[in-house]
Amino acid sequence: MRTGAKYLRARLRGPSMLKYYPPVINIAQLARKYPELELVDEDEEQRLQDIEDRKKRGKGAPKKAKTKADSRRTQRKR
Say if residue 4's pLDDT is above 70: yes
Query: Which range of residues forms the domain containing residue 22?
Result: 8-39
pLDDT digits (tens, 9 = 90+) for 32-56: 999 999 999 999 999 999 999 999 9
Q: How far is CA 58 from CA 20, 23, 26, 46, in A?
A: 47, 39, 32, 18
Look at residues 52, 54, 36 and name the one whose alpha carbon lies nearest to residue 44: 52
In angstroms, the CA 51 to CA 48 distance is 5
Is 70 domain-assigned?
no
The answer to whether residue 66 sits within a structural domain is no
Which pLDDT does position 67 carry in this prediction?
Answer: 85
Q: What pTM was computed for the model?
A: 0.56
Query: Is residue 32 situated within a structural domain?
Result: yes
Domain count, the chain: 1
**Could you tell me how many residues make up the chain?**
78
Contact 68, 74 (CB under 8 A): yes
Spatial contact of 41 and 31, defined as CB atoms under 8 Å apart: yes
